Amino acid sequence: MTQTDQKISPRKSEDMLRFQKGILQKVSFNQDLFERELQKAERWLLVEDLKKLVDWVLDQFTHVFTDLEEKVKRMFSYLFSSPALG
């Protein structure tokens, strides 16, 4: 289910953003697990909060996983192509 299929309140999205950051920090020892958890965030976050999470991930973890930036930009390409969110 995507975020367009469900109603996500701004408060819930903010809470899930904080929660997801914690999860990603805990699983950062394994890139496959990290990427799966990052993809799950799409279901729970509003686009604005997902963009914040993606920016945080790129800032915090591209030195850990050398190919992460390319993968993240492919996973969430719509976030990078929207001028309103840039």
The pTM for the full model equals: 0.84
Tell me if 17 is assigned to some domain.
Answer: yes
Tell me if 74 is assigned to some domain.
Answer: yes
The residue with tokens 């309103």 is 84
Distance separating alpha carbons of residues 73 and 71, to the nearest angstrom: 5
Which of 2-11, 17-26, 29-38 has the least mean pLDDT?
A: 2-11
**Number of domains within the chain:** 1
**pLDDT per residue as tens digits for the range 39-48:** 999 999 999 9
Tell me if 72 is assigned to some domain.
Answer: yes
Q: What is the mean pLDDT of residues 8-30?
A: 96
Question: What does the mean pLDDT of the chain come to?
Answer: 89
pLDDT, residue 7, reads 81
The residue with tokens 């799950």 is 40
Tell me if 2 is assigned to some domain.
Answer: no
Range of the domain at 40: 10-81
Tell me if 20 is assigned to some domain.
Answer: yes
Tell me if 40 is assigned to some domain.
Answer: yes
**Is the confidence at residue 82, as pLDDT, over 90?**
no
Tell me if 18 is assigned to some domain.
Answer: yes
Tell me if 46 is assigned to some domain.
Answer: yes
